[in-house]
Structure 1
Amino acid sequence: MKLELAEWSSTIEVGVPTIDAQHRQLFELAASFRGNGDQIRVLKSLAMLTEYVKVHLHEEEELMAACHYSGLEAHRLLHADFRQMLYELLENAKQMTLDEIAEEVKFLINGWFYNHILVADFAYMPSVRAKFGSTPKPT
């Protein structure tokens, strides 16, 4: 069964413009994966997605640290798991078909990342609002 890619929607906006913009960008990068095209383009896109995730997760962790979020360490572990899944996909992609790569990216974004936003990211938003009000200052 082929997965359809979840689309960005206001349902998963956390209310922090920079974080929401980064989340939206990750969904857009994931949407660029299709089973057609050449393997080099797909592998470059996967490497770009992996690098973007690293930057986003780091910035998110800095924001949580600035807010003294009590769940930071647990959240960091979740991020480490996601980075590991992406690195493994990047490593295994050379032996996968383009369709398999596209399906795996969709699974990671639709499943893991989408749910992570709704549960883990929404959980630290009260700390952000308590520290900064509605919009945090850039780190």
Structure 2
Amino acid sequence: MIFMPWNDTIAVGIQEVDEQHRVLVDLINELHDALTAETPNRGAIGHVLEGLMDYTMNHFIMEEEWFERHDYPHTVAHKEQHNRFTSTIMNALTDFEDGQHLPYELMEFLKHWLVEHIMRTDKTYVPFLKAQGIT
């Protein structure tokens, strides 16, 4: 069973954003699989966690550039959410690189945060960005 299946209810309707969200979901599933493997491989876990961090940062940069370019009125609050999330992932990565194990609660946090962020925060910018011609 897939830890975090993609479904159309979390699609926002902007193609590039939805494609990137799907990759984030895939990376979370890949991290889950690496952590719950019969014999977890620290190298594989670290690689996926680094990839998740990099991809998340790039996704957030894209969104934030759109916000800045089009004067999205909720840019500051949205960026604060992004910063808190990347800080959590970076702390987990740092702890992992220091030899600690990733707690399973991290997986639940990633899943919950992404779904909630998309449903409650990202979907609020969709009408604004579509009015700016971003589809």
TM band (smaller chain):
0.7 to 0.9
Number of residue pairs matched?
Answer: 127
What's the counterpart of residue 67 of structure 1?
70
Identity %: 27
Between 1 and 2, higher relative CO (CA 8 Å, sep ≥ 6) is seen in: 1
Stretches of structure 1 lacking an aligned partner (at least 5 in a row):
none
CA distance in 2, matches of 1:62, 1:95: 35
> Are the aligned partners of 1:46 and 1:90 in contact in 2 as well (CA < 8 Å)?
yes
Please report the TM-score for the alignment, with normalisation by the length of structure 2. 0.87
CA distance in 1, matches of 2:87, 2:125: 22
SS in structure 1 opposite 2:132? helix
What amino acid is the match of 2:107?
K
> Are the aligned partners of 2:6 and 2:22 in contact in 1 as well (CA < 8 Å)?
yes
CA distance change for structure 1 residues 105 and 17 in 2, over 3 Å: closer, same or farther?
Answer: farther
CA distance in 2, matches of 1:28, 1:104: 18
Stretches of structure 2 lacking an aligned partner (at least 5 in a row):
none
Deviation at 1:105, TM superposition (A): 4.4
CA distance change for structure 1 residues 26 and 105 in 2, over 3 Å: closer, same or farther?
Answer: farther
> Are the aligned partners of 1:26 and 1:53 in contact in 2 as well (CA < 8 Å)?
yes
CA distance change for structure 1 residues 8 and 105 in 2, over 3 Å: closer, same or farther?
Answer: farther
**Within 5 Å, which residues of 2 pair with 1:48-67?**
48-67=51-70
CA RMSD, Structure 1 to Structure 2 (Å): 1.5
